[in-house]
Structures are given as C-alpha cells and as structure tokens.
Amino acid sequence: MYLPDLSLIRSSPSLPNGVQRLAVGWLEQGQPHSTGEPSTKVLARLTLFKEVNLYFGFHVCDFCGNAAGNGEIHVWGRDPCLFVAPVMIHHYMSEHRYQPPEVFLRAVLEGPSPESKSYEQFNYWYAEGGWEDVDFGLEASPPNYEFPIADTADLYGS
Ligand SMILES: [Zn+2]
C-alpha cells in the first residue's frame, strides 16, 4: 500500500478531538521517496514502538524481499498529530536509506516515549475521541506534555 508521506489519513468523523493522522513510510517500489543516512538515535528510539493494528496483514519488503512485518506504529507529534507508519519503517531506514520527513524524525525523538505514561495518556485520549466525561476522568484536552526540541544533528546520520 503506497501513501505519499504526510498524506492525511481520514479520521472517523465521530472523533471530535480533531487529531490529524498523517501517513509516513508507506513505500512501494517505483514510487518516489527521499533517501539519506539514518540517525542512530532515531533508529534506536523507533525500536521501542510496539506494532498496532495487525489486521492489515503481512507485508514483505518491496525492495529486497528479505524482511517482513505487519502492523503500524503510532508516533505522537506536536499540535498534537498522530503519525502512522508501517512497522517496516525501521527496515526501510536502516537497510534502504529511506529518509522520512523532518517533522516525523522530530516526533520520534521529541514526542512521548512509547514506554512513558504520557504516551499511554495520548493513546487513551485519542481512543476516547476527546469526549469530556468528568465522571470517568476523561479529558477533552490532550495530555499535558511539553515537547522538547531535539538537536537537528540528532535527526540525521552522518
Ligand atoms: Zn528491504
């Protein structure tokens, strides 16, 4: 499944929180994508994200046929927005020098770590659609998370 980087994935109209879901890394042979040396910091952090939405099925690397994975990873960025990338993105970057857009690289390093409570809170807030329900402790506003600013040198390899 090819999707141009940063294309908008239609959200369910029933979700009032207005989170934009943006596609990153849905590559396909013959379709254009940027390349460059990957950052070891970005690659290390990417391995922490657990795959979700496994029902899209098994996907074999279109470029070498040597790697396969299924599912997506969810990376929270500023505003907040949700980047949806295939699990294979790590392979694409490390083996095929795929370079995702800078906003995504920043989100990987600056967004809440998948092992953190904040990440869990973002997912919960998103899943609940931003409905405010005081009785159940649900908040209409996104979790309070201060996005740090990563050093640009950490976003790219050398
Ligand atoms: Zn490959």
Separation CA 33–CA 103 (nearest Å):
15
Kindly give the distance from the C-alpha atom of residue 22 to the centroid of ligand 1, in angstroms, as a whole number: 23
Higher pLDDT, 136 or 118: 118
pLDDT tens, position by position, 18-59: 788 899 999 999 999 999 999 999 999 999 999 887 665 677
Kindly give the distance from the C-alpha atom of residue 4 to the centroid of ligand 1, in angstroms, as a whole number: 18
pLDDT score recorded for residue 23: 94
What's this model's pTM, rounded to 2 decimal places? Answer: 0.89
Structural domain contains residue 1: no
pLDDT score recorded for residue 135: 60
pLDDT tens, position by position, 56-114: 567 789 999 998 888 899 999 998 999 999 999 999 999 999 999 999 999 999 999 99
Structural domain contains residue 21: yes
Structural domain contains residue 40: yes
Separation CA 39–CA 157 (nearest Å):
4
Structural domain contains residue 88: yes
Kindly give the distance from the C-alpha atom of residue 137 to the centroid of ligand 1, in angstroms, as a whole number: 44
Average pLDDT over residues 15-19: 66
Residues whose CB falls within 8 Å of the CB of residue 144, separated by 6 or more in sequence, listed in order: none
Kindly give the distance from the C-alpha atom of residue 66 to the centroid of ligand 1, in angstroms, as a whole number: 6
Structural domain contains residue 95: yes
Structural domain contains residue 3: no
For residue 138, name the pLDDT band (cuts at 50, 70, 90): low
Split into its structural domains, the chain has a count of 1
The residues placing their C-beta within 5 Å of ligand 1, an ion, are 61, 63-64, 67
Is the pLDDT reported for residue 15 higher than 70? Answer: no
Domain that holds residue 64: 8-154
Structural domain contains residue 142: yes
